[in-house]
Chains A and B, each alone.
Chain A
């Protein structure tokens, strides 16, 4: 018990050092090497994505039970934080909903993204008079138009046309987006970029894009609160949030022409379909959005990643991190951990490529 408390304190000190590290990283002149903070032996720090946070937490507790000598400390700070601080060596593992893009790879050639689960970004809304179970049909293009400020009222005929059973009020659409650098935003803007030429041209894919309209909130939790408390609200969060807060979410049109609700099943279908079609990159740097042809595939699914430094400070650190990752990719994929928190396990067919990525960590 006492030892545990002490480790927590050490973790706190490491977190403080991490803050200092962040401010130093700003110049870009602190190019490499852990910025002062050595993680204490036996502690692995995971920080980043708020989408992946619930699963990381469950894994951390379970892993500590199996390996009492290893403490995994988990924080939800946004994917952007996870990527930049994993690269600077301030944390052992950066959690991210976004893969390493070309720009990230150029900036941080020393990072590798290891997929650990499947998740999605869902469109949530709050329209008075429309029941929670409705799962309104929307096309990704319509969602893009809402976020471009071209569709501004729920009485727009586009909604009624796809959902003739429901009556839409004359109500302003209150557009909610994330204010921090978010992997959920990255996935969401990936879908909009694939389906709306105007979005692709003006805004593009980003963790913190230049939003044309709406208002921003800090973290998925604040997005949920803003949409739930404001009639007319629309926003986007991961499946875990939709399940936990019983949110109204949209059935989105996929490439095969079907409207699909995000669920563990439809996310897994999207993942499997993307892989079957053969051209999925071996280092996973692609979103599973529009280019998936299965009928039951949810069109805004994504791999969740752990960002890890290829060159670990020493052999012991490399071993302890790799042991954890191997566990997460093996027993950790069990449905009893992934499904209740709103994630789909990785398809078995990707494991070969995942192991290759893991081998880059030394």
Chain B
């Protein structure tokens, strides 16, 4: 008898609370736009913040309210933009996929250190100790802030302490570029076309030569060699205009430092191996 009594009492209380919750859920229901959820589904969900909103859900809300363009999601690219446009019944805006590129190939073999650093494995910390342990003030410190910043796990540390970007995985959100205290990572339109000068140093040529075997010394050889006139020297650093570059490779042959690489080959090997391969090409 006692057990039936107990079961009935608890069961009754349970049913009562259940009913109460059901009523409360009805009474206090928060109306949400079903389109927000649909737009949210079309996004990668990395919450990288490249769109300028606090996470994918906030971006989805902004898109539905018309405060953001359907192509605002950089990692999602045109796929997301089209899916969002389909949900909202709008025309998809064009979107350009972006990719992060590391503008330094001065690894531990080809560039010199000023002193031994045994501190916290963090680029920002290392940068604060006497302006960084590398002799080059613009070279990659190789402590992996960009690796930790990447929400897509697209960046890993290469064998020579230089970050390698997986161009398939990279969403182009730019969190790595922000995390780098030396601004070595730049965000470029995705693609294999064109050559790049993989150096960020704006120091004078002599200074660069003293600290790094593969840095741009702004010697002007590539500028003269380029038939397309796509290369200019800006503040002691050669810059290739991707719009003009036609991949002829003349600059690679002329570059004595081996700093210039075709974009198709970036991301496999690093440092001296790459310099050697570049010299052969």
Are A and B associated in one complex?
no
Residues on A facing B (Cβ under 8 Å): none
Residues on B facing A (Cβ under 8 Å): none
